[in-house]
């Protein structure tokens, strides 16, 4: 991106939201990003109980009839 475009977008955002609110908005975006990454890490840990139940073999059909 050209610097002129970046400057125009930054000026537009500053006019639209006000210069005093920009640090607050950036802080909130950073916090939201941190929470999102934390949630991804928590969701990546598999639950051990459902896997253990899935690994148990079913009893053979012959044993049930005897």
pLDDT for 15 beyond 70: yes
Average pLDDT, the chain: 79
Instruction: Indicate the DSSP class of residue 20.
Output: T
Residue boundaries of the structural domains of the chain: 19-45
At residue 59, the pLDDT reads 67
CB-based contact 42:34 (threshold 8 Å): no
State both tokens at 19: 């210069």
> Is the per-residue pLDDT at 31 higher than 90?
yes
pLDDT surpasses 80 at 13: yes
């Amino acid at each position: 991106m050209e610097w002129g475009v970046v400057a125009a977008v930054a000026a537009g955002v500053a006019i639209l939201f006000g210069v005093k609110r920009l640090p607050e908005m950036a802080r909130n975006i950073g916090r939201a990003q941190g929470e999102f990454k934390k949630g991804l890490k928590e969701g990546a840990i598999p639950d051990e109980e459902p896997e253990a139940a899935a690994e148990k073999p079913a009893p053979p059909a012959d044993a049930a009839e005897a």
